[in-house]
Amino acid sequence: MKFGINSLLFTSPFTTQHTRLFKQFKQWGFDAVEIAFEDPSLIDAPKVRAALDRAELACCAICGIFGPDRDLRGDKQQQKNCLQYLAATVDAAVILGAPVIIGPVYSAVGRANAYSPQERKAQWKTVANNLKQACAYAEPKGIAFAVEPLNRFETDFINTCEQVMQMIRDVDSSALKVHLDTFHMNIEEKDSAAAILRAGKHLAHFHACGCDRGVPGDDHIAWPDIARALKKIKYDGAVVIESFSQEIEVIAKAAAIWRKLAPSQKELAVRGLKFLKKTLG
């Protein structure tokens, strides 16, 4: 099991110049970094890989960023944009050594509306067909997409692990996996540990943060139950702290971070890592 940190806690958008953060991440005790790809054109993948190697860090995942112009259930142009973006992230993942591209690959974040059953069925079919195409590109390259359920305020489309499992069945590709996040599970799942068990061998990525998106462990999440569930399914992927800071204003606004979740970004990362290594390691 690798313990990682999401770059969004410290910068947005991530660019090649932000590889200067890697040395600090390593000194704090992280094994890996999850790199957010807001704009692939700002990232020179070979240079980033070289910086990772120098810092002795792995890139455990590329964090996909899905705005209104990248939406697999949007209009034709939005779907095309998203498929092109996913292909670009796959190409970068190969260079970076990242096994998965993670996040809500199915839709723009923040799109939450009340659709009729007929509209929802049509959207589901559209997303499944698009993911089949994306997976067909990723699978031969050894890269997977790990689909993340988001809470009801961030999407109306996939909120639970079971919904991801249904999408996996419909797409029927070994390149489609599950990505779970303790913050979202705390809102949407009846039992977070049960959701982990439901994902089982399909779980390819795991986000760990507090119920308020702050320091993991400073909250009411049932961490011992989560630890037992991860152990039971023999999860050996990455556990990544995905928390956000008011210092990164664009992300704070997007994630509704209206107050300080920790005294500093460093404390959130370091104290969270200490807790996760003790509880999950």
Known catalytic residue at 242: yes
* Residue in 138, 223, 213 with CA at minimum distance from that of residue 174: 138
Say which DSSP state 237 is in.
Answer: S
Which of 38, 154, 189, 242 is catalytic? The answer is 242
Known catalytic residue at 148: yes
* Residue in 202, 188, 205 with CA at minimum distance from that of residue 154: 188
Helices 223-232 and 265-280, interaxial angle, to 10°? 60
Which of 34, 38, 148, 154 is catalytic? The answer is 148
Beta-ladder partners of 207:
181, 240
Please check whether residue 8 is in contact with residue 248, taking contact to mean a CB–CB distance below 8 angstroms: yes
Q: How many Å separate Cα 145 from the centre of its chain?
A: 10
**Coil, helix or strand at residue 280:** helix
> N- to C-terminal Cα distance for the chain?
7
Nearest-Å Rg of the Cα atoms of the chain is 17
* Residue in 202, 228, 212, 222 with CA at minimum distance from that of residue 280: 228
Which amino acid is located at 67 in the chain?
G
Helices 192-199 and 161-171, interaxial angle, to 10°? 10
Do the bridges between strand 203-207 and strand 238-241 make them parallel or antiparallel, or are there none, so unpaired?
parallel
| Residues annotated as catalytic (active site), given as ranges | 148, 242
